[in-house]
Chain A
């Protein structure tokens, strides 16, 4: 499903060049639960952004579902992000002026899904993450754990092939962190492919499939 070969990413900030990733080879199969760990600044988010088609590598090959993203234009990448990939961020990244319902509805809107189907999908996914009674709340009226559930619902609503989560429990207290982690595990057990950056040691209780990144490279 994900095939990376010799990925390198260089950031050019003024005169200084930062090599955020180098010699990265990675394979992820359908149904995997891959966790990514590593110290701060090691390049985990950079890798995640490339996998999520938010960013392009400086060199190397990245094939998603057998298609090389190098050859894709911005519109195609937007469509991939919309339909193939579900993003969950550490700081939730919900639209502050939109209700729970509207936040979750947004990817469907971008995909051009009709109103009736949108309503069905949003309601059922909110049911699944346990937020049916918070549909018309704004993000600032929700707890951290609830916000992250909204974000997960939004990531899932277009039935993506991969869910990418960048420290989804990083901003949560232990209790809600555990609940969110459980939610991901449930999703994985349903057959979803999940890649998660985490510092949470409990992740290892559910999967032994993890990679460690230091200094922009994957440790053996």
Chain B
């Protein structure tokens, strides 16, 4: 080891000679370095865009909700205790308390009521849209519906006092009220006056039911029931404290509700789930797969380029046979000759790598600087996915490791050949 370090040190003193010699092979060296630069560029860009893609997809999924499961009633498929199959199961707001009290893994839970075709009126403007009643304050975190500055989400008191207040989606607010500050203003819903308490921040939302949150409004469930007299909720949303437990919690939910609604505890159709947690796990897995695939393609490009380096190293070994003989005659050990050629290969390799890395970095920065609207995900999806490359230390380090390995590999065999040259024959080589 000490010997190797010593040799590397000695070789570095010889590097200037090597560079002088390489100048004679300018065109060949230039092409080789360009090959490595291209390989490096490819690998970094593929990994960065792959990484950006993954992040965008995950962020888009978070727009629907942060680690939530959406629960719908279903239809029984098994006869149970004299009750026929095909019976409809419909969920109620009180089920939220039941589930929360029986299953400690549930962090937050809320029921949702939908009403369609509501006439929103502000001044002379009329818009027909949905409205939702929600039963709990944790809802804003579960569904990533955060208020713009100056406003707030529905609170506990709104719920308890059945206040006529709404929290509006940003697009709905814009359609109805334009640019005015909505908070505190009165809006008519089917001619009933409501006070706007907040407007939702823009968000990227890929998964949705009914439509994007930005185009609807929410009011307290208590207020909703008072107006529309709904008995059943359209769905229940819950957030699990440990994302790895979502499957287990879903099972528990089915069991708990089976007792109440008297369906077979193993009846898979009595309830319907939309497990967003499972979904993001799958997405993450799929995109990890894609990233690895892209990385492998990049690495292949680099390996092919490294064959070019190995080739040029073989040529220089042959051309420099005499030089090797001279060095051996005046006392260079085999190991020194070997390390010299390996370092020379690494030098070519790292020069190419550095150029490729710099170009890749510039491209990523340029693409990042293109102005874009990340919230309106639907509008320009392809552009948004592509225009968000992410360069990370992981990518930088793995590229360096691959480059180093490739350099060692392309230097090793020519170097071994150089070290094996018989000094006497080398001295007579023309």
Contacts and interface: CB of A to CB of B under 8 A. Distances in A.
Interface string B403-427: 0000000000000000000011001
Interface string A99-126: 0001000110111100000000000000
A54 B329 contact: yes
Interface stretch (B14-22, B85-93, B200-208, B348-356): B14-22
Interface in B304-361: 322-323, 325-336
B427 A89 contact: yes
Contacts of B17: 95, 97-98, 102
Interface string A40-81: 000000000100101100000000000000000011001101
B347 to A, nearest CB: 15
Contacts of B427: 54, 89, 93
A216 B263 CA distance: 108
A42 B423 CA distance: 21
A118 to B, nearest CB: 9
Nearest to A111: B331
A96 B332 CA distance: 17
B281 interface: no
Nearest to A106: B330
A110 B20 contact: no
Contacts of A52: 329
Given A95-B17, A95-B323, A97-B20, A110 B331 contact: yes
B10 interface: yes
Interface in B29-61: none
Contacts of B323: 95-96
A74 B333 contact: yes
B330 to A, nearest CB: 5
Contact of A110 (B332, B334, B423): B332
A39 B173 CA distance: 108
A53 to B, nearest CB: 10
Interface string A118-155: 00000000000000000000000000000000000010
A198 interface: no
Nearest to B10: A109
A10 to B, nearest CB: 14
A22 interface: no
A96 B21 CA distance: 9
Given A54-B424, A110-B10, A97 B327 contact: no
B394 interface: no
Given A95-B326, A112-B10, A79 B331 contact: yes
Contacts of B369: none
B330 A112 contact: no
Nearest to A92: B326
Contacts of A35: none
Contacts of A184: none
A82 B325 CA distance: 13
Contacts of B335: 75
26 contacts: A54-B424, A54-B427, A74-B334, A75-B333, A78-B331, A82-B330, A82-B331, A83-B331, A93-B322, A94-B326, A95-B323, A95-B327, A96-B323, A97-B20, A98-B17, A102-B17, A106-B327, A106-B330, A107-B330, A107-B331, A109-B10, A110-B330, A110-B332, A111-B331, A154-B330, A158-B331
